[in-house]
Amino acid sequence: MPENEYHKRPLPGVLTVAEFHARFGSSDDCRTHFHRLRWGAKLERFVCPVCGHGQGWWLAKRRLVECQACHHQTSATAGTVFHRLRSPLWKWFWAAYQLAQDKKGIAALELAKQIGVCYQTAWTMLHKLRQAMRDRNQRYVLEGLVEVDETYVGGEAEGKRGRGAANKTPVGVAVELQNGKPRRIALGTLKRVDGHCLRRFATATIRRGATLRTDGWGSYRRVAQAGYEHVPVVTGSGKQAVARFPWLHTFIGNVKRMLLGTYHSVSAKHLDHYLGEFAYRANRRWLEANLFDRLLVAAVASKPITYRQLVTGGR
């Protein structure tokens, strides 16, 4: 497309802010939409969580579905990320919209101001949605040709940079390539930067039999022993490494800009949630127009998690 006509290119059919408020201006509107996403307009996808029966009827006054077999009554949000929510559903929808449509995400303090809740409530809402994103990411593994590297996330600190840097959290990065272009990515924190931790990251995110393309660091030989083909590429540092692995460094740069620009400071304990958020959007960048609904579907499939579990790491 000529440069002078670039601005004429139509925008993707994303849900605008005005359209969002028109469609989901009340919790009743949100509940109706969520009901249809989960069970279908005529309850054709309903499955009783108690007995597994596939038929039920809608109790309009109570906004519940009753199983025809065991008569158990359940709401559309029960057993999902929105289980036993205390804030109006439209506030949760707005949080999901912000995470889905904004490539930089949204900070809890900003969300708290927008929807009129306290910081802890906004933080909990966003982390529950990020948990749904992480759960969805784990359903897919990379395959084919995959480039693997590691990076370090954290504030500026004196001392050594790169491998062995102090006061930073190591992060494994993998990019699946198809015809030279990135298809999907995987990100995850590492306890240490060594062959053992990198191997655990690879086996959790990359299908065995794939071809790993890495730099020449010796620890990647141990990773390859888990059932991968290995193509080491000897690089220098700085510009030469970026030239050899451009897509890896592009995604590394983007995730660091997101963390620094939107969240400013992220604790190591919760870093995987933010990495999951970034990877979820990156892997669905062609589905921008449907990303809001896809996140709501992910919230249906994800099990409920409490604030205490989020703070203590699931304990």
CATH of the domain at 172: 3.30.420.10
Task: Supply the pTM of this predicted model.
Answer: 0.89
Claim to verify: residue 96 and residue 149 sit in the same structural domain: no
In order along its 315 residues, the chain shows pLDDT tens digits of 454 554 555 555 788 899 999 999 899 999 999 999 999 989 999 999 999 999 999 998 898 999 999 999 999 999 999 998 889 999 999 999 999 988 899 999 999 999 999 999 999 999 999 999 999 999 999 999 999 999 999 765 555 555 555 578 999 999 999 999 999 999 999 999 999 999 999 999 999 999 999 998 889 999 999 999 999 998 776 677 888 899 999 999 999 999 999 998 899 999 999 999 999 999 999 888 899 999 999 999 998 988 888 888 765
Claim to verify: residue 120 and residue 92 sit in the same structural domain: yes
Claim to verify: residue 121 and residue 180 sit in the same structural domain: no
Residue 85: the pLDDT is: 87
Residue 132: the pLDDT is: 96
Any bridge partners for residue 181, and if so which? 178
Residue 157: the pLDDT is: 52
Residue 308 included in any domain? yes
Q: Is 292 left (phi over 0), alpha (psi -120 to 50) or beta?
A: alpha
> Around Cβ 70, how many Cβ atoms within 10 Å?
13
Claim to verify: residue 202 and residue 222 sit in the same structural domain: yes
Residue 231: the pLDDT is: 95
Residue 254 included in any domain? yes
Residue 8 included in any domain? no
Residue 141: the pLDDT is: 96
Contact partners, residue 222, CB within 8 Å, separation at least 6:
195, 196, 198, 199
How many residues would you count in the chain? 315
The boundaries of the domain holding residue 27 are: 17-41+77-138+302-312
Residue 48 included in any domain? no
Residue 6: the pLDDT is: 45
Claim to verify: residue 265 and residue 179 sit in the same structural domain: yes
CB 214 within 8 A of CB 188: no
Q: How many domains does the chain have?
A: 2
Cα 186 to the chain's mean position, in Å? Answer: 10
Residue 158 included in any domain? yes
Residue 194: the pLDDT is: 93
Residue 257 included in any domain? yes
Claim to verify: residue 109 and residue 161 sit in the same structural domain: no
* Angstrom distance (rounded) from CA 65 to CA 73: 5
